[in-house]
Structure 1
């Protein structure tokens, strides 16, 4: 079960804020760019968190804001009746850059060996690609599998908070580093789950 299934529950709350954002003159594309900026700031904070552990908590705030604005742009577009393929394309591109900023900030910052970080990032990008590829094949956007994007971000935020509490390495890696190790495994497991599921629906 992934946290993506909770989207309908949070939709009403996000929609109410979307209406206010539209009234304030914001556009969905502008909000998408804001979410990207927050992901970049999260990556920077993670990069420096090995030296100053409290920066990981700052990163959690930025990751939360990235997630919120990522949900907000789509809600705004649907409310205004201007949801488009261009907007959907931009949203997916920004999400992938956000993944690279956040995960890259952790392993480039030294929390884990960069080779493991690359394996994790490839798995994350492949998982996301398979979800959108299912949509391209007419099956519909596919969020299934062990580790969806929402699960991934929640896991990173929990690991970051735990790292602030205990910043010492455990068997060579920090808690954030071990989080990337987990992502390296679970993202590829998720990718294979999606390959299997999509293949059976074709």
Structure 2
């Protein structure tokens, strides 16, 4: 769903990518920074169990870091294109780091008690299956980019943004992270079915 938005923002992203490329730092550096921020987000979510902050502040901290991670997840590819250094190694690292980030995020949410652990496992499992179906389909020559209502970017946005919502309108509430995880699980499940159906049709 966000692919159309990315396409419309492409000229702007190219300018931003050029600015980051001018630092001399490689696309892989920005990929690593995105992963580091995602890990920090996972720790932020988990911090609710450390007794330092409450559940809602932990959701805000984690969500903010997750949005920052998502920004650099877009920047790395743009930098690679601008510098003409796109490579299979970079694509592999980007994809692998994305999966590591998702695992860390869901684990952090579960440890922090921000959502039911069972729903966290369902959400993580569905998310990884969505990625697996694309990888497997593309290994068979079927392109699935843009197929489905909830790719990784959409799912992470749901977690970050919905987690900012206090359940009863105050900063002392637990927050809506529990609902965010349920929503991500449903969206990922629908996307999984969509991709299986789309791939099966093309392989007939």
Per-residue Cα deviation, 1:25-82 (whole angstroms, up to 9, x for no partner): 1101111000000000111111124642223222222111111111111111112222
Q: 1:135 aligns with which of 124, 133, 138?
A: 138
Per-residue Cα deviation, 1:161-199 (whole angstroms, up to 9, x for no partner): 103844545xxxx51012112222221221111000111
Q: What is aligned with 2:126?
A: 123
Q: 2:162 aligns with which of 159, 163, 181?
A: 159
- Which ranges of 4 or more aligned residues in structure 1 deviate by more than 4 Å? 164-167
Q: What is aligned with 1:22?
A: 21
The answer on whether the counterparts of 1:107 and 1:177 sit within 8 Å (CA) in structure 2 is: no
CA distance in 2 between partners of 1:9 and 1:133 (Å): 29
| TM-aligned CA deviation for residue 148 of structure 1 | 1.5
Normalization by structure 2: what TM-score?
Answer: 0.88
Q: What is aligned with 2:34?
A: 35
CA distance in 1 between partners of 2:11 and 2:103 (Å): 29
| TM-aligned CA deviation for residue 141 of structure 1 | 4.4
Q: What is aligned with 1:45?
A: 44
Matched length: 197
The answer on whether the counterparts of 1:28 and 1:77 sit within 8 Å (CA) in structure 2 is: yes
- Describe how 1:93-108 pairs up with structure 2 within 5 A: 93-108=96-111
CA distance in 1 between partners of 2:86 and 2:201 (Å): 30
CA RMSD of aligned residues (A): 1.9
CA distance in 2 between partners of 1:111 and 1:61 (Å): 15
Distance 1:111 1:56, change over 3 A: closer
- 2:71 matches 1:68: yes
CA distance in 2 between partners of 1:49 and 1:15 (Å): 38
Structure 1 unpaired stretches of 5+: none
Normalization by structure 1: what TM-score?
Answer: 0.89
CA distance in 2 between partners of 1:54 and 1:26 (Å): 33
Q: What is aligned with 1:54?
A: 57
